[in-house]
Copies of this chain bind each other. A is one copy, B any other.
């Protein structure tokens, strides 16, 4: 998506350790009108999918998912990353390893909010090694909902997550795929 690639080139900052910081517009400060444009693009790409629910994971996925959901007219459910006193009752759980925080955590979703009748679109800001997305897919499978696909804002194409998810047969739409990055250059995978 050209608008997104231009914004990454303008405002993204590459840090050591293959970190791409887009915190000025996507996941710390959030440019709401810009993210609405991403929402329209996700809707265009998944226009044929009978989506009933958008699933994401806290924290930075939530705001993006809420804005995107407006174009699908469906609720958002977000998986939580730790056991909360407020989250009693039956829950779907999955273990996830965080690339950013270098730790393993539980992903938790109340069973009330996902079931066999649902058609789910996963939304997240980043796809790198794919662990967070694998956790969400595991939860969708456990709920026996239908997984319609995953919409990612920025995929790090040089890490294994995208290939792993596509090899599973999941429909994955990444709005920008970064194939390589150095301190002075970013290369995007050409749009297909």
Q: Which residues of A contact B (CB under 8 A)?
A: 15, 17, 19, 21, 23-24, 28-33, 35-36, 58-60, 62-67, 69-70, 73-78, 80, 84-88, 100-102, 110, 112-113
* Bound CA span A65–B28, Å: 12
Q: CB distance B63 to A76 under 8 Å?
A: yes
| Chain B: minimal CB distance from A44 (Å) | 19
Q: CB distance B29 to A75 under 8 Å?
A: yes
| Chain B: minimal CB distance from A31 (Å) | 6
Q: CB distance A30 to B112 under 8 Å?
A: no
| Chain B: minimal CB distance from A147 (Å) | 18
* Bound CA span A75–B84, Å: 29
* Bound CA span A19–B85, Å: 9
* Bound CA span A17–B110, Å: 20
- Residues in B whose Cβ lies below 8 Å from that of A78: 28, 30, 59, 63
* Bound CA span A75–B87, Å: 30
Q: CB distance A30 to B76 under 8 Å?
A: yes
Q: Is the interface of A mostly helix, strand, loop or mixed?
A: mixed
- Residues in B whose Cβ lies below 8 Å from that of A29: 75-77, 110, 112-113
- Residues in B whose Cβ lies below 8 Å from that of A110: 23, 28-29
Given known contacts A58-B58, A100-B84, A102-B85, A31 and B63 CB-to-CB distance under 8 angstroms: no
Q: CB distance A70 to B32 under 8 Å?
A: yes
21 contacts between A and B (CB under 8 A): A15-B88, A19-B86, A23-B87, A24-B113, A28-B87, A28-B110, A29-B77, A29-B110, A30-B66, A30-B69, A32-B70, A32-B74, A32-B76, A33-B73, A58-B59, A59-B78, A63-B66, A63-B76, A66-B66, A84-B100, A85-B100
| Chain B: minimal CB distance from A95 (Å) | 19
* Bound CA span A64–B62, Å: 9
Known: A23-B87, A28-B77, A58-B58. 12 other contacts (CB 8 A): A19-B85, A28-B78, A28-B110, A32-B76, A58-B59, A58-B60, A59-B80, A63-B63, A63-B66, A63-B78, A84-B101, A85-B102
